[in-house]
Amino acid sequence: MKRNRIILTTGAAVTALVLAACGGSSDSDSAAEAPQEDAASSEEAVEEAPEEEPADDSGSDDSGADDAADSGAGDVPPWCGPNEITLGFADGFGGNNWRLVTTETGRREAAKCPSVKELIYTDGQGDLQKSISDIQGLVSQGADAVVVFPDASEAILPTLQEAYGAGVVTVPYRVYPGGSDGDDYTAYIALDATNDGANYCAWIKKARPDGATVLVTSGPKGNSQGTDMATELRACLGAEGDKYTFVGEDPFEVTNWDPAETQKVITAAVAKYPEIDVIASDFGPSLVGALPEFTKAGRPIPALATSDGNILGCFWQDQQDAGNGFDMMTVATGNDHARTAIDYAVAVATGGEIPSSTAHQHALFEDSLDPDRPVQCDTSLPDYVFHSAELITAQEQAALLE
């Protein structure tokens, strides 16, 4: 009896360990093996990518990535210098569709430069300790440059300083880690979310020229992306006098970018505010579950200024077909931010031409009021692909994420 128990206990413990190891190692395995696989697949992609870019790129601003893409007529982009390097790509958290597409975008961008001899990708899995050891590991593996998505923000700064101090070109992007360019790291490639606010504002003025009541939503309280976007949007529409009014919390309603929370917040707003003409949000797909609340309450769906996603485009199309049509504009969801960061890091490390801008701007993507930017929906593809990703087609994303 006792022996059986011991055997069972050991068995259970071993099973748990194996399961845990499977879960834990799957990412690190893929991280270790990925460069070869992806180098091959991205080489193929590089050939077809430039052809698509001009059309997709037409609305984007002068970010580093776009400089590179525009001048991509030759074989080697100008940001790719002659010095051969090993490039580290440290993600703080790699476990969702947006991250997977962003990572692949970064890989394909790096593959454009033959001087990048090796790319090592690591996934911090949302764990600060792993994120730190990932970056340290990249440095000790001889990476000449590391591009970091610092999910842990300030907590990761000492590690960035350490890498930078060791002479590695260190480029954090999208999440501000504190510190400053040239002191703590090479350069921080920020997201210019103020530009999103300006784009939303311009479109709202076009879509609702006589004024409107606007609700703004974003992720966690105080997140810089939402704060910058909402502040600019409020200032810009506020300059029109009292034509435009805002409802909800200032600067934005907190949804944590979570579909459940978004649904609760929108439901409460529908009941509380008899008039909502426009919703501005920095994450479109999470609104899809919440917008039917308007229809349920017998009210029209407000005009939407947000970010793209196949699920949102198809929701728009469905509502259009059902006679509940609404106006919508989107900006790109920003998978191409990784390109701006890669370009910068590679340029500095290989001795290429350093991009002039250290900020990434989301390109204008869809606009239901502009025939040149139709809303995109492909029902044959999964709902979680982003049509706005410039280097990876929606079909490729579907295959990648399968």
Partner 1 sequence: MALDTAVQESTPAVQERAGLWNRVPRGLITISIGVLLLFLVSYVFAPSSMTKGPLLGMLPFAAVLAIVSLGQTLVVQQGGIDISIMGAISLTVVIATHGADGDDSRVVPALFTALVVLVIAGLVNGFLVGRVGLNPIIATLGMNAVLYAIVLGYSGGIPQMNADLLSSMASGLTLGIPNAVFYAIAAVVVVTVVVKRTVPGRKFEAVGANPTAAWAAGLRVKNQQMSAYVWAMVLYWLGGVLLAGILKQPTAYQGDDYLLPSVAAVVLGGTSLLGGRGFPVATALGALFLSQLSNFVLGLGVSFAIRTIVEALALVIGVALYTLNWKGIRARVLGKNLSGSPPGGS
Q: Which residues contact partner 1 by CB under 8 A?
A: 5, 8-9, 12, 15-16, 19-20, 22-24, 26-27, 94-97, 99-100, 221, 248-249, 254, 258-260, 263-265, 267-268, 270-272, 285-286, 288-289, 293, 296-297, 311, 382-384, 401
Q: Which amino acid is at 356?
A: S
CB contact at 8 A, 109 and 397 = no
Q: Which is nearer to partner 1, 112 or 234 (CB)?
A: 234
Mapped onto helix, strand or coil, the DSSP state of residue 233 is: helix
Q: Which is nearer to partner 1, 3 or 296 (CB)?
A: 296
Q: Which is nearer to partner 1, 168 or 288 (CB)?
A: 288
What distance in Å separates the CA atoms of residue 289 and residue 264, rounded to the nearest whole number?
A: 10
Q: Which is nearer to partner 1, 71 or 96 (CB)?
A: 96
In order, the DSSP letters of 305-324 are EEE--HHHHHHHHHHHHTT-
What distance in Å separates the CA atoms of residue 58 and residue 133, rounded to the nearest whole number?
A: 40
Q: Which amino acid is at 22?
A: C
What distance in Å separates the CA atoms of residue 364 and residue 57, rounded to the nearest whole number?
A: 9
Q: How far is the CB of 186 from partner 1 (least distance, A)?
A: 29
Q: How far is the CB of 19 from partner 1 (least distance, A)?
A: 5
Angstrom distances, CA of residue 62 to CA of 51, 85, 198, 338, 396: 19, 26, 16, 15, 26
What distance in Å separates the CA atoms of residue 88 and residue 137, rounded to the nearest whole number?
A: 10
Candidates 325, 326, 308; CA nearest to 365 is 308
Cα 218 from chain centroid (whole Å): 14
Q: Which is nearer to partner 1, 95 or 114 (CB)?
A: 95
Q: How far is the CB of 354 from partner 1 (least distance, A)?
A: 34
Kind of pairing, strands 364-367 and 116-123? unpaired
What DSSP designation does 328 have? E
Q: How far is the CB of 14 from partner 1 (least distance, A)?
A: 12
Q: How far is the CB of 259 from partner 1 (least distance, A)?
A: 5
Q: How far is the CB of 254 from partner 1 (least distance, A)?
A: 4
Q: Which is nearer to partner 1, 76 or 128 (CB)?
A: 128
Mapped onto helix, strand or coil, the DSSP state of residue 356 is: coil
Q: Which is nearer to partner 1, 34 or 145 (CB)?
A: 34
Q: Which is nearer to partner 1, 378 or 383 (CB)?
A: 383
Mapped onto helix, strand or coil, the DSSP state of residue 152 is: coil
Q: How far is the CB of 94 from partner 1 (least distance, A)?
A: 8
